[in-house]
A and B are shown apart, each in its own frame.
Chain A
């Protein structure tokens, strides 16, 4: 019996990336080629300095490739200008970071509402969407709290609400549990699992924590800038 082949949402071909430090060129990624299927929960693993975060940044359009192409949906993001990339990110990518990266002077609901200011939604619709997103992560009772008044786990849930509020094509998460205690980390991973399973969100997560990676449906390994082409299906 043939297994159904899912349509790729991200297609990466012959990608190279290096950093320039003064006159020094530091190669980071070599000839990376792989696809990410729609609705996939991918864990990118590898030791420190292997290029995981760089690859994630390239897929999310916050860094530029040296060579190669990255298609997300129908868009080759390597051809977009900075302004076009900014607009594309606003519409297509949800971001979850290790240190939550909430704006400290904004309340939880205002942080979630922030990306919606780049849309054409009315003020009342923006607030409605933000409240729904916060309710989805179980923080409807903490809407008017500032990040400094919340625990790390709660801040990361606000960050997840901010990531999903625009209903993006892909969610990228860079070590989302790296700064959390075990209980909070489990909560966050369960939440991401639900987003993937129940809402069909494509998630690309960078982690070096095997427990976090075990929640993903697919694992890929990077080592010294090279990709292990044998993607491992999560046995769970």
Chain B
């Protein structure tokens, strides 16, 4: 009990130094937490992927289309429960800064495959009945102030011209990990327009989204689908939704790796700062530790004092950093919703924050503790005065 009292009072004895160290740790943990959340948000699509969904695309590249005629053949493959399809539209709303993902899809099957997108029944019916109808995520609608019935014009990049849509439904997420920044409209609306403007590009889809009967048949089903189109003009590559999304992340792997490295560098720097603080503190208290050893306290007691002090400082800073991470992530997520539609501080990030704080305390205290234990009492006492 007395040791606890001493270590707590020691930790805050030099208020300015302790406060600055705690502030440094809090900022480092906050930065670490945000960077880890950025990394998690890269993988949000992977985490949200269903094991019962497959994605089929052109085997050469995602930018090459597949014929719509594959729909029926895929539906006949054993293990397939439902087939939907769509295209990346790549439209721009007013200007390029307003980027959001927009797709044309076969709506009945697509929303059936994505039960995590929640639509009001009335709105859903209105959307399905209107060929020019569109569905937007709640966050996207809120960002641009869209209301049901509004006309939204997108400027086509892949499909030139201005495209008008009537917002018929706004979807929400089953939970907060669902991306609510997407925009969907009818594939037939696009296809009919393409038929008139550039018939050679009509009757084609960018991807097939396939629901399988059970997750355990997904791998075999994927193989069978690709086998079906072997040696055709447009061979397919079918993979799980998770693998498909991971493929996209692989394109940004260098960025993810760089962010990971920066997050660890931040921790390393603060570790050096805390280690320096602990070294200074221990040097100043050499006399105190010597007198405690003189009175009969042992190496274990000295270790508790130094490690305890380091823990009090780092965990206080760590706790403040963790508490600040939540509002900071909320602001960060709002500002960068276009790039990180799902920006949530995960439990794993908090565990990593706590682990980082503990590691900082442990490593910063090792050398000062070793020094304090090994110094001869007579030498320690000589430091006083």
Q: Which residues of A contact B (CB under 8 A)?
A: 54, 57, 60, 62-63, 83, 86-87, 89-91, 95, 97-99, 101, 103-106, 110, 113-115, 117-118, 123, 179
Contact = CB atoms under 8 A, between A and B. Distances in A.
B294 A95 contact: yes
Interface stretch (B6-14, B157-165, B212-220, B244-252): B6-14
A123 B5 CA distance: 14
Nearest to B293: A86
Interface of B: 1-2, 5-6, 9-10, 13, 287-288, 290-298, 376-378, 381, 384-385
Given A103-B288, A105-B10, A106-B6, A97 B381 contact: yes
Contacts of A99: 384-385
A106 B2 CA distance: 9
A103 B291 CA distance: 8
11 contacts: A57-B378, A86-B297, A87-B296, A89-B296, A90-B295, A90-B296, A101-B287, A103-B292, A105-B10, A110-B2, A115-B296
A118 B297 contact: yes
Contacts of A117: 2
Contacts of A179: 385
B294 A98 contact: no
Contacts of B376: 63
Nearest to B3: A117
Given A62-B378, A63-B378, A98-B385, A110 B5 contact: yes
Contact of A105 (B6, B295, B384): B6
Given A105-B9, A105-B13, 6 more contacts: A62-B293, A62-B377, A62-B378, A98-B385, A113-B2, A114-B292
A70 B295 CA distance: 19
Contacts of A123: 1
Consensus secondary structure, chain B interface = helix
A98 B291 CA distance: 12
B296 A86 contact: yes
Given A101-B287, A105-B13, A118 B384 contact: no
A113 B295 CA distance: 11
A86 B292 CA distance: 10
A214 B381 CA distance: 26
Contacts of A104: 13, 288
A103 B302 CA distance: 14
Nearest to A174: B381
Nearest to A159: B291
A99 B384 CA distance: 7
A113 B5 CA distance: 13
Given A63-B376, A63-B378, A95 B6 contact: no
Contact of B295 (A54, A110, A115): A115
Q: What 9 A-B pairs come out closest when comparing CB atoms?
A: A90-B296, A105-B9, A62-B377, A99-B385, A101-B291, A115-B295, A86-B296, A118-B296, A99-B384
A95 B295 contact: yes
B384 A97 contact: yes
A99 B294 CA distance: 14
A72 B385 CA distance: 29
Nearest to B7: A105
Contacts of B9: 105-106
Nearest to B290: A101
B2 to A, nearest CB: 5
A106 B285 CA distance: 14
A97 B383 CA distance: 13
Nearest to B2: A117
A62 B292 CA distance: 12
B290 to A, nearest CB: 8
Contacts of B1: 123
A95 B292 CA distance: 11
A132 B376 CA distance: 32
B2 A114 contact: yes
A105 B376 CA distance: 23
A89 B295 CA distance: 6
A91 B1 CA distance: 20
A60 B13 CA distance: 31
A101 B289 CA distance: 10
